[in-house]
Amino acid sequence: MHRKTHFIVLVLALVLALAVTAQAQDISPTPGEINPNANISWPPPVYVLRGQFTVRGSANLPGMLNYFLEFRPLEDDLSSAADDVPWFPVTAALQAAVQDDVLGIWDTTPIEDGVYELRLTINLQNNQREFFRVAPLRVENAPPPFAVTPVAPAATPTSPVPPPPVQPTPTQFDPTPRATVSAGVPVNVRRGDSVVYDAFAALQPGQTVTIVGRSSTGSGWYVVDLPNGQRGWVAPTVVTVSGDLSGVPFVVPPPPPTPTPIPATPPPTSTVNLVVGNYRFDPPSPRCNQTFNIYLDVANFGTTANPSGTISVQDFRVADGSLQGNTVGAIPVIQPGQTVNVGPIPLTISTYYNEQHRLVITLDPGNLIPETNETDNLIIAIYTLEKASCP
């Protein structure tokens, strides 16, 4: 009788453990309600991520303005955090539609190891939004020593014979004109040489394409060949150019698109006014090739709470205005009359030490949060990058 009772208790405990594990796995909407044009197909729930992780899925809804990815930590019991807990951006807002392809790259290296939830947000016309959430996801960039398989040392030969010296092969210069994406986020490919033209494709960070033309207007934009055979225009500020451009022809861009008349509708009344305030660095003096954190006061001078949003941080060399690095932060929900210290926003700069740098910090760079005043969302900081251990 005692053995039978003990066996029943063990079975009940096992059933309870399986139920808790199943409840912790979450896809929202549920699998039976997943929209094939608005979803995250990779990674699945209960997955381990590390380093630069590729997120796949679809963002291709009618009337889509843009989409972006964001994340936040789960509670200790693996439940989702409260609605007022802010989400942190994975990507900037992207306009090109994606169908069962790469949505963006999640750089997990700056965040602590732990359990998180990942959300896809699609902004639609008429201020509508579509969400897709995956949880739990474990970030593990520093696995414990016992979880790493040791590599057996190579056997030492009893009579080592030195190999014959290998003659170095001279590096051949590749004259092919190429553009490699230098921004840390996907960049748009447009139909002309400015942002007034439609974006119809996107290039991923580190992707290289062939340059076949230069704008004849002096804008600096390049005509590139895409892997699918199409051609488009990319801005010079988001790519690094290599090869010989002397034979690249100048191309006249197409006429700018004619704006489609939109019936006048009364704009939604907004009573939100976000204002950027004081900032500080930690450590106070940024050092070459060492990450420093940015903390920023953000106030809501409006009469209603704002939705969450993003903060853009760009670092320029003062001497020539060239972009040296960028990062993003998160704007939490701020009640009217409240000031919140946002941070840390990590940034690492490893070029042009002992020179002045200009840091441009912008609240809601895509103007996704309607405000009564959009002119007080930017602040500029000038600092000198210390040499530290850079060569």
Lowest pLDDT segment from 25-29, 74-78, 278-282? 25-29
Residue 385 predicted with pLDDT over 90: yes
CA 253 to centroid of chain Cα atoms:
30
Residue 375's pLDDT band (cuts 50, 70, 90):
confident
Residue 358's pLDDT band (cuts 50, 70, 90):
very high
Long-range contacts of 44-49 (CB under 8 A, 24+ apart): 44/134, 45/134, 45/135, 45/136, 45/137, 46/136, 46/137, 46/138, 47/137, 47/138, 48/138, 48/139, 48/140, 49/106, 49/108, 49/137, 49/138, 49/139, 49/140
Q: What are the structural domains of the chain?
A: 26-142 (2.60.40), 178-251 (2.30.30.40), 274-384 (2.60.40.10)
Mean pLDDT of the 195-210 span: 94
Sign of the Cα pseudo-torsion (181, 187, 193, 194, in order): negative
Residue 5 predicted with pLDDT over 60: no
Q: d(Cα 48, Cα 143) in Å, to the nearest integer?
A: 11
Q: What token pair was written down for 246?
A: 């002397």
- pTM over 0.75? The answer is no
Mean pLDDT of the 29-43 span: 86
CB 388 within 8 A of CB 288: yes
User: Which has more confidence, 47 or 259?
Assistant: 47
CB 231 within 8 A of CB 223: yes
Cβ neighbourhood burial of 385 (10 Å; 0-12, 13-18, 19+): buried
User: Which has more confidence, 235 or 270?
Assistant: 235
Residue 154's pLDDT band (cuts 50, 70, 90):
low
| Tens-digit pLDDT profile for residues 79-97 | 988 989 999 999 988 989 8
Q: d(Cα 66, Cα 92) in Å, to the nearest integer?
A: 10
Mean pLDDT of the 341-368 span: 93
Q: d(Cα 180, Cα 232) in Å, to the nearest integer?
A: 14
CA nearest neighbour of 298 among 355, 369, 212: 369
Average pLDDT across the chain, whole number = 86
Residue 355's pLDDT band (cuts 50, 70, 90):
very high
pLDDT for 19 equals 41
Mean pLDDT of the 279-302 span: 94
CB 313 within 8 A of CB 307: no
Residue 145's pLDDT band (cuts 50, 70, 90):
confident
Residue 314 predicted with pLDDT over 80: yes
Mean pLDDT of the 30-58 span: 90
Q: What token pair was written down for 376?
A: 């007080």
pLDDT for 250 equals 94
Number of Cβ within 10 Å of residue 42's Cβ equals: 14
CB 329 within 8 A of CB 343: yes
Residue 27 predicted with pLDDT over 70: yes
pLDDT for 12 equals 42
Residue 14 predicted with pLDDT over 50: no
Q: d(Cα 115, Cα 25) in Å, to the nearest integer?
A: 12
Residue 163's pLDDT band (cuts 50, 70, 90):
confident
| Tens-digit pLDDT profile for residues 110-135 | 999 999 999 999 999 888 999 999 99
Q: What is the DSSP secondary structure assignment for residue 284, as one 8-state letter?
A: S
pLDDT for 366 equals 86
Residue 16 predicted with pLDDT over 70: no
The enclosing H or E element of 24 equals helix 2-24
Residue 345's pLDDT band (cuts 50, 70, 90):
very high
Cβ neighbourhood burial of 99 (10 Å; 0-12, 13-18, 19+): exposed
Mean pLDDT of the 137-163 span: 71
Q: What token pair was written down for 136?
A: 């739990």
Residue 11's pLDDT band (cuts 50, 70, 90):
very low
pLDDT for 255 equals 92
Q: d(Cα 177, Cα 194) in Å, to the nearest integer?
A: 21
